[in-house]
Chain A
């Protein structure tokens, strides 16, 4: 039995098959791999986001900590920052003494990474109480200054001549300064 198919129907059939083929090829060769790629990339992106969030949280936490430290220790930080000024020191601490003079300022060896200046001081006090006040004031002063031995007290008439060495602690110029620059906010 011969089945007669018109040319038109043949064309339609061909076209349909072609389009179907295209759809199938496109789907399997392009679309599905791309879909898999999509899934993989999305997972990776999510992972990266997770990582980032973790870091962000930790970062914020650290920042908090830093800010807290900076605010709590503002005085100390500025004190380390402040270059030692003979005039200022004398002016500020004169109040405790009848006379106060800084004789020598030497740069000494760094301690704990901080620059240390040895400052020789001579002063006159009327009573040891002044010295105690001075020591109290020193802790609240503009600089980090520690009084060291040897301390000499010599009675001179009504006054006591006291001479002592102070160690002034300051930030070291290089990397520490950058750290302190940010702390100065």
Chain B
């Protein structure tokens, strides 16, 4: 101070009441603004979240589709394999049945197993034996059955037995076609 003995007090327009008002409003405004910013941030994050979830869901969808295709395929494999195996077993049973069918006294020289038929070449002691022991059971299985005989050497007969199944349904035996 140039002239006065004492220094003047600090003069400020910010009297205690003004300061109070300013602080009050500042706090209020700060709270409002921070709430607003928080909401903005949350909106952005929700949006992101939703996007992500949708993306993930789509990925999952794709995965599910893929897996279902795989499952379907495996099931197909399963069914085909099963069919094949069953076929093989049925075949086995058929052959077993066939060879069981053939009596002791008749000897087969050749057997052609066809899809819908069976051709047997063999030797039989006599026609009767053949008719009785082989033809009868064959007849029961096959609808069409022909036999032709031609004599063999030692009094036995060679026979050629041609048997076919006539059925509208193709049966379990699935071969060519």
Contacts and interface: CB of A to CB of B under 8 A. Distances in A.
Contacts of A70: 74
Contact of B77 (A11, A31, A80, A146): A80
A139 B42 contact: no
Q: Classify the secondary structure of B's interface with A.
A: helix
B68 A179 contact: no
A8 B109 contact: no
A145 to B, nearest CB: 7
Interface string B14-32: 0101100100010011001
A148 B64 CA distance: 38
A128 B99 contact: yes
A183 B74 contact: yes
- What interface size band does chain A fall in? 35 or more
Interface stretch (A15-23, A87-95, A97-105): A15-23
B76 A112 contact: yes
A144 B74 contact: no
B146 interface: no
Interface of B: 13, 15, 17-18, 21, 25, 28-29, 32-33, 35-36, 39-40, 42-43, 46-47, 49-50, 53-54, 56-57, 60-61, 63-64, 67-71, 73-78, 80-81, 83-85, 87-89, 91-92, 95-96, 99, 108-115, 173-176
Given A8-B13, A136-B92, 10 more contacts: A26-B29, A30-B36, A52-B60, A62-B71, A66-B70, A77-B77, A112-B76, A132-B96, A153-B111, A169-B81
